[in-house]
């Protein structure tokens, strides 16, 4: 079963390679969606695909790359986007 989630990641997540980490992890799982930095120093992720693989990605995001420090994750399910085929970094 497929699902799509919107995620806001708080902590030390900008300037530490976080978006590229998410891109690699999403591509390894063949997930689609995007990630971007927000002005309040958080990172936003929208990701979709097999629900088990999305959950795997979320577990990796909770840890993040070695230079990051994730303090909170806000996750909410959202509607699938049927036209999306790959994962990308915005901005």
Active site residue 24: no
Catalytic position from the list 29, 37, 60, 88 = 37
Active site residue 37: yes
Residue in 69, 77, 23, 78 with CA at minimum distance from that of residue 42: 69
- Environment class of 61 (CB within 10 Å of its CB; exposed 0-12, middle 13-18, buried 19+): buried
| Residues counted in the chain | 91
**Residue numbers annotated as active site:** 19, 37
């Amino acid at each position: 079963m497929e699902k799509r989630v919107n995620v806001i990641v708080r902590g030390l997540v900008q300037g530490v390679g976080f978006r590229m980490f998410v891109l690699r992890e999403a591509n390894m799982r063949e997930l689609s969606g995007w990630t971007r930095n927000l002005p309040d120093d958080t990172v936003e992720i929208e990701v979709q695909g097999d629900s088990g693989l999305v959950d795997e990605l979320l577990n990796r995001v909770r840890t993040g790359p070695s230079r990051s420090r994730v303090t909170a994750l806000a996750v909410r399910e959202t509607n699938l986007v049927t036209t999306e085929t790959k994962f990308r970094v915005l901005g």
